[in-house]
């Protein structure tokens, strides 16, 4: 038996290998991994590879010393709908296999894991070879998704009194302000170590607070809605100030600023001079915000990402690569 079919462990359990497992590992993919995982040509159909391995069994088998040694150091990534597994280097990947009408074998790595879409005529050997060829790309993307998930979990906001949100890269503690209206930011100039330097007082009518005893969820909703509304107002003011700061030196003029809620881009610039900036950038440091502002202003001179565009960015922000790298790994708190 080869390693394309192994016992599927539950996530978080110690990895237990089946008996008589081969120690062969899949070959590494070339260094020039693709940027688009939508699909690639499959290998020639083999005469003995038409039948895929059986579905997973939940039965536990005894393990020989020879088999357990290499399995002990394996990393495991399992799609919730996985039907098959394959060993890629030192990574055991449980993946979802979908048969569909298409010309090539495609792969998508999502937060859930690896999904493989294969033509109905593709043999199991074809699929195994495709996975082996792209093993380095698959493993890298799985690690990226895992790390991103961990960052998202760490960035999750607790919408209650005493909870905090990132504001301009620093924690901002939220506190109730009974009887007051709106939100008020209080900055402590000489705070003690371990004591919050910034506090946001969130106004709430007394009549509203009375209802929270019976409906605790109302307090969470109130806190979240009012804090995010305040944050949008802060974003508009801060972005206007930074755009006005950089525009003259860059020789461009913005016609309009609009806040964006896009989840796939931080900002955009139109030929008519309109700039859109994601308002949740306010969670990040001023340096990161400045980079996005300069990036979009540079598009008013160069509507592309050519070397001339990056020269415009560098002239306005010589160390732009530092916040750019931070932005690549940034996660929006929710």
Residue 159, in any domain of the structure: no
Residue 12 domain boundaries: 1-154
pLDDT of the residue at 196 = 59
> Does residue 149 sit in the same domain as residue 279?
no
> Does residue 26 sit in the same domain as residue 131?
yes
Residue 129, in any domain of the structure: yes
> Does residue 111 sit in the same domain as residue 220?
no
> Does residue 199 sit in the same domain as residue 320?
yes
Number of domains in the chain: 2
Residue 243, in any domain of the structure: yes
> Does residue 84 sit in the same domain as residue 186?
no
pLDDT of the residue at 213 = 85
pLDDT of the residue at 264 = 84
pLDDT of the residue at 193 = 66
> Does residue 109 sit in the same domain as residue 10?
yes
Residue 334, in any domain of the structure: no
Residue 64 tokens read as 């020989």
> Does residue 205 sit in the same domain as residue 322?
yes
Helices and strands in the chain, H and E counts = 8, 12
Which of 98, 122, 154 is a domain's end point? 154
Which of 93, 125, 154 is a domain's end point? 154
Total-model pTM: 0.65
pLDDT of the residue at 21 = 27
> Does residue 50 sit in the same domain as residue 93?
yes
Residue 333, in any domain of the structure: no
Per-residue pLDDT 10s for the chain (334 aa) are 343 333 333 223 333 333 222 223 333 333 333 333 333 233 322 333 334 444 433 222 222 233 333 445 689 999 999 999 999 999 999 999 999 999 999 999 999 999 999 999 999 999 999 999 999 999 999 998 998 888 878 778 999 999 999 999 999 999 999 999 999 999 876 666 666 589 999 999 999 998 998 899 999 999 999 999 999 999 999 999 999 999 999 999 999 999 999 988 999 999 999 999 999 999 999 999 999 999 999 999 999 999 999 999 999 999 999 999 999 888 888 8
Residue 120, in any domain of the structure: yes
227 touches 165 (CB < 8 A) = yes
Residue 187, in any domain of the structure: yes
> Does residue 135 sit in the same domain as residue 18?
yes
> Does residue 182 sit in the same domain as residue 304?
yes
> Does residue 139 sit in the same domain as residue 200?
no
Which of 154, 179, 201 is a domain's end point? 154
> Does residue 3 sit in the same domain as residue 135?
yes
Residue 122, in any domain of the structure: yes
CATH of the domain at 293: 3.30.2010.10
């Amino acid at each position: 038996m080869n390693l394309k079919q192994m016992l599927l462990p539950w996530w978080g359990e110690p990895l237990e290998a089946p008996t008589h497992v081969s120690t062969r590992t899949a070959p590494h993919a070339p260094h020039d991994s693709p940027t688009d995982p939508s699909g690639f040509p499959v290998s020639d159909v083999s005469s003995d590879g038409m039948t895929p391995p059986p579905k997973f069994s939940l039965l536990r088998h005894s393990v020989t010393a020879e088999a357990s040694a290499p399995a002990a150091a394996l990393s495991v990534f399992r799609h919730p709908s996985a039907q098959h597994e394959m060993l890629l280097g030192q990574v055991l990947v449980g993946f979802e296999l979908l048969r569909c009408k298409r010309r090539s074998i495609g792969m998508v790595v999502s937060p859930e894991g690896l999904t493989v879409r294969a033509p109905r005529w593709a043999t199991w050997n074809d699929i195994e070879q495709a996975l082996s060829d792209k093993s380095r790309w698959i493993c890298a993307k799985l690690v990226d998704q895992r790390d991103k998930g961990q960052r998202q979990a760490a960035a999750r906001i607790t919408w209650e009194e005493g909870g905090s949100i990132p504001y301009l890269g620093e924690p901002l503690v939220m506190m109730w302000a009974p009887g007051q209206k709106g939100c008020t930011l209080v900055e402590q100039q000489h705070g003690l170590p371990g004591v919050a330097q910034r506090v946001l007082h969130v106004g709430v009518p007394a009549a509203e607070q009375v209802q929270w005893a019976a409906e605790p969820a109302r307090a969470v909703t109130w806190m979240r809605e009012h804090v995010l509304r305040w944050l949008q107002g802060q974003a508009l003011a801060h972005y206007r100030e930074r755009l006005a700061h950089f525009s003259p030196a860059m020789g461009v003029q913005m016609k309009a600023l609009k806040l964006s809620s896009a989840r796939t881009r931080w900002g955009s610039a139109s030929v008519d001079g309109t700039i859109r900036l994601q308002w949740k950038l306010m969670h990040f440091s001023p340096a990161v915000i400045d980079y996005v502002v300069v990036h979009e202003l540079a598009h008013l001179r160069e509507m592309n990402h050519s070397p001339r565009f990056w020269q415009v960015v560098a002239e306005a922000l010589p160390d732009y690569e530092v916040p750019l790298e931070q932005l690549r790994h940034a996660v929006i708190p929710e």
